[in-house]
Structure 1
Amino acid sequence: MLKYLRLLLLPFNLVYALVIFVRNQLYDWGVFKSTSFDMPIICIGNLAVGGSGKTPTTEYLVRLLRNYKVAILSRGYGRVTKGFILADEHASAETIGDEPMQYYRKFKDITVAVCEDRVTGIKKLKDTHEVILLDDAYQHRKVKAGFNILLFEFDKLCNWQMLLPAGNLRETFSGVNRAQTVLVTKSPKVIDENSLNRFLKKLKLSGDQNLAFSHIGYQNLQALYSENQVELQKKQEVFLLTGIANPVPLCQYLTSKEVILHHFEYPDHHRFTEQEIKALIKAFEEHPAGQKIIVTTEKDGQRLLDAKLKDLLLNLPVYYLPINIEINAAEQAKFDQKILEYVASAK
Structure 2
Amino acid sequence: MTEPRDPGRHPVDGPAPDRRWRIPVDGFELAGFEWGAPGAPPLILVHGASDTHHAWEQVAAILADEFRVITYDVRGHGRSGAPRELGAYRLDRLAEDIYAVIDTVSPDRPVHLAGHGWGAVQGWEAVLDPRASTRIASFTALSAPHLDHLGLWLHQVRQRTRRTVHRVQARTVRRLATAPPLERRAAGGRARRTTPMASALDEARLTLHSSPSMLRRALYQPRVRAGMHRLTHRSAHQQAPIAPTWRADLLAGARIVRANLGHHLRHPRDQHTAVPVQLLLDAADPAARPGVRAAVQARVDRLWCYTLPANHWLPVTEPLLVGEAIANFVSDLRADSDPIVGNTR
Greater gyration radius = 2
Q: Which has the higher helix share?
A: 2
Q: Fold conserved (TM > 0.5)?
A: no
